[in-house]
A = this chain, B = another copy of it.
């Protein structure tokens, strides 16, 4: 039996919502190959490290953030023979959905790191096959908002219904009816729980604050392609 000896890396698709846009964390590569190009953060898996451990370590190194702050899951694995000029490198990609962090990009060991709106990332701009990995991560996130309560991972510990609606509208690039959205979110079992507090964002009536509920699946789901209001 012919064994193939390869290197294994983890790459991170880190998504957050900043300034009203879905953004991904990219790093500028300090060393060849693809030196100077933007890429997903990531690195080699250490000899005695589990894959998720390696991804969590990279997340801490790149953002200074605890992986438990948002949501974290394995995305997919990419191992085409020619994807890395250094040789056979198989990468296990992880997807994280994070709240807008107070101190992002701290302690990064890359030449530069920045949040970039995903719509501004040009096709072919990223190193390796990171274009495709990022695209797969975005699509996974979009799909998961429909039937899981993961939109709350983009929010801080306490948030309003309007905050949560903004998450959906930003990720899906749609408008949702605020009144029907409120009814669905507060009606779905275990989606959100009131904290009792309220907050005033700009003008208007104070909004109730909520925290994440215990549900892991949404019943019924919030569907993406429902007819948008006014169209």
Contacts and interface: CB of A to CB of B under 8 A. Distances in A.
Interface of A: 1-8, 43-51, 74, 76-81, 88, 90, 92, 147, 219, 221, 225
B46 A80 contact: no
Contact of A7 (B3, B81, B92): B3
A81 B46 CA distance: 10
A5 B7 contact: yes
Given A2-B47, A48-B81, A51-B78, 16 more contacts: A1-B43, A2-B44, A2-B46, A4-B46, A4-B49, A5-B7, A8-B90, A45-B79, A49-B81, A51-B77, A51-B79, A51-B80, A51-B90, A74-B76, A90-B90, A219-B225
Nearest to A2: B46
A219 B80 CA distance: 33
A51 B147 CA distance: 29
Nearest to A225: B219
Contacts of A74: 76-77
Contacts of A81: 47-50
Nearest to A51: B79
A109 to B, nearest CB: 10
17 contacts: A3-B7, A4-B8, A4-B44, A4-B46, A4-B47, A6-B6, A6-B8, A8-B8, A8-B79, A8-B90, A47-B81, A49-B81, A51-B77, A51-B90, A77-B77, A79-B92, A221-B221
A47 B88 CA distance: 8
A135 to B, nearest CB: 15
A92 B77 contact: yes
Nearest to A31: B1
Most buried by B among A43, A81, A219: A81
Contact of A1 (B2, B44, B48, B49): B44
Contacts of A78: 51
B4 A45 contact: yes
